[in-house]
Amino acid sequence: MRFSNPDFENYMLYRNGLINIEKMLAQFPVVALIGARQTGKTTLARMVGKDWQYIDCQNKDTLPQSLSVIFERYPEQLILDEVQALPEITDILRGVIDKNRGQNGRFIITGSSSPELLSQVADSLAGRVAIVEVGTLKLNEIFQKPFSKFFDILRIPINKHTKDEVLSLSPVTDIASVYESIFTGGYPEPVVRGDDEFRETWFSQYFSTYVDRDIRALFPGLNLNTYRLLIRSLADLHGGQINISDLSRIIGVSDVTVRSYLDIAHATFVWRRLESYQSSALRSAMKMPKGYFRDSGLVRHLMHIFSREHLESHPKFGNIFEGFVIEELMKGFNASAPVTVKPYYLRTRGGFEVDLILEGIFGTIPIEIKSAANLDTRKLRSLAEFVEEQNLAFGLVINQGAKPELLDSNIIQLPVSYL
């Protein structure tokens, strides 16, 4: 059953990453919560720092003329919200931390919609900060179910027992809940409200605010109409390879402009760019990236899919399902531990293709994502060959199957409802 309490603070108690944030505060002087607008970063920060001083960096009227005064007044237990509005504050924060380098748990900062923010935080606060990405709500969060043990299994390198552990997993929810989550998306407010009319209005306003306020503020010289056209064009390309030249002709700008706009979309957490997996053993791998909207509810809204029946019968449902699965995986890894997991895809000119390749502390896992429940195992040939050629423990097929099972000796079926 969906959580329906409109009290956002109660709702956010179900966030997977809440304990992770508290753990990081015990280990670092500052924790940075990053992610798209309206994913709950501020609420999480204020829940963790219940009695801390809170400062909204976007409200310039309430800030002192000298930012150093902030830290003189509040040398610890301070939340700085939306720090991208004050790019100089991270350098000041570094000096404050270094005066008492051994003290952890002093600051929480949040930031969204800024391509410069992550590199700025990483450079200025290197060794002093834990960066936690706060995505939209994961499937188990929406339906108040336990966090999948799949992600706990992969917190260590794959060993001889990993395959059996994956096969013994229990479901998080059911396939009906998966479909509901794909349609609704994971932004907290429309999930909590649960009203179809409100949801579509919310997505429309969210998209307009993203372009007209966030992008305008960050890039004053950018052509907003052209950028808006690019984002809408990306809805048609969701889940496909991105041909820069074709896209530049569609929206009528140069290849260089398209590349910069795609960088902005990726860095503002609306769009995920999936780079091609490159290996010396795969010389014919195509280098064009693929791309997905980070939220399934937003992309189906941009595709003008306004009913669940239309979603299930839509010719792009397979692409929407694939993007949903990728984000469920990435949100799970982000919540389970602050370790880097890098996603790729593989396609060669000869037709060899693997939908997703994950690299992390666990090793390498190739994954095929199928929206159907029943599989033609002949279509898993590329996955099986990749597992063999790379000498991997196993590959995964994520689909709508009934339970985890071996499809052959090194290929495991893992239903999406187990994520």
Is the pLDDT reported for residue 252 higher than 50?
yes
Q: At 107, which helix (H) or strand (E)?
A: strand 107-111
Residues 387 and 277 in one domain: yes
42 domain-assigned = yes
412 domain-assigned = yes
How high does pLDDT run on average in the chain? Answer: 89
What confidence tier does 1 reach under pLDDT thresholds 50, 70, 90?
very low
**Percent of the chain whose pLDDT exceeds 70:** 94
Residues 241 and 108 in one domain: no
Assign residue 101 the CATH number of its domain: 3.40.50.300
The number of helices, as runs of H, and strands, as runs of E, in the chain is 20, 13
Q: What is the mean pLDDT of residues 137-154?
A: 92
Is the pLDDT reported for residue 2 higher than 50?
no
263 domain-assigned = yes
Tokens of 397: 């097929």
Question: Which DSSP string corresponds to 20-67?
Answer: HHHHHHTTSSEEEEE-STTSSHHHHHHHHTTTSEEEETT-GGGS-SST
Q: What is the mean pLDDT of residues 212-229?
A: 89
Which range marks the domain in which residue 76 is found?
18-133
Tokens of 22: 């508290």
Sheet holding 129-133, edge to edge: 53-56, 78-81, 107-111, 30-34, 129-133
- Among the ranges given (146-150, 190-194, 274-278, 310-314), the one the predictor scored with the smallest mean pLDDT: 190-194
280 domain-assigned = yes
Question: Which DSSP string corresponds to 373-414?
Answer: SS--GGGGHHHHHHHHHTT-S-EEEEES-SS-EEEETTEEEE
Residues 112 and 149 in one domain: no
Residues 188 and 217 in one domain: yes
Q: Give all strands (DSSP E) within 89-172, no chain letters.
A: 107-111, 129-133
Q: What is the rounded CA–CA span in Å between residue 367 and residue 384?
A: 10
CA angle at 202 for the pair 200 and 205, rounded to the nearest 5°: 110
pLDDT in tens, 29-73: 999 998 888 898 998 899 899 899 999 988 888 888 788 899 999
Residues 178 and 129 in one domain: no
275 domain-assigned = yes
Read off the amino acid at residue 387: V
What confidence tier does 278 reach under pLDDT thresholds 50, 70, 90?
confident
Among 73, 100, 133, identify where a domain stops: 133
Residue 369's φ and ψ, nearest 5 degrees, are -120, 120
Q: What is the mean pLDDT of residues 120-139?
A: 86
Among 103, 133, 163, identify where a domain stops: 133
Residues 355 and 246 in one domain: yes
Tokens of 342: 């890098």
Read off the amino acid at residue 306: F
Q: What is the mean pLDDT of residues 106-118?
A: 78
Read off the amino acid at residue 119: S
8 domain-assigned = no
Is the pLDDT reported for residue 14 higher than 70?
no
Is there a contact between 415 and 404 (Cβ–Cβ < 8 Å)? yes
**Percent of the chain whose pLDDT exceeds 90:** 63
Is the pLDDT reported for residue 3 higher than 50?
no
Residues 121 and 156 in one domain: no
Residues 334 and 394 in one domain: yes
What confidence tier does 23 reach under pLDDT thresholds 50, 70, 90?
confident
Is the pLDDT reported for residue 10 higher than 80?
no
12 domain-assigned = no
Among 91, 110, 133, identify where a domain stops: 133
Residues 366 and 233 in one domain: yes
Residues 311 and 397 in one domain: yes
Residues 273 and 341 in one domain: yes
Q: Number of structural domains, the chain?
A: 2
Cross-strand pairs, 115: none
Residues 87 and 34 in one domain: yes
What confidence tier does 4 reach under pLDDT thresholds 50, 70, 90?
very low
82 domain-assigned = yes
How distant is the alpha carbon of residue 311 from its chain centre?
A: 22
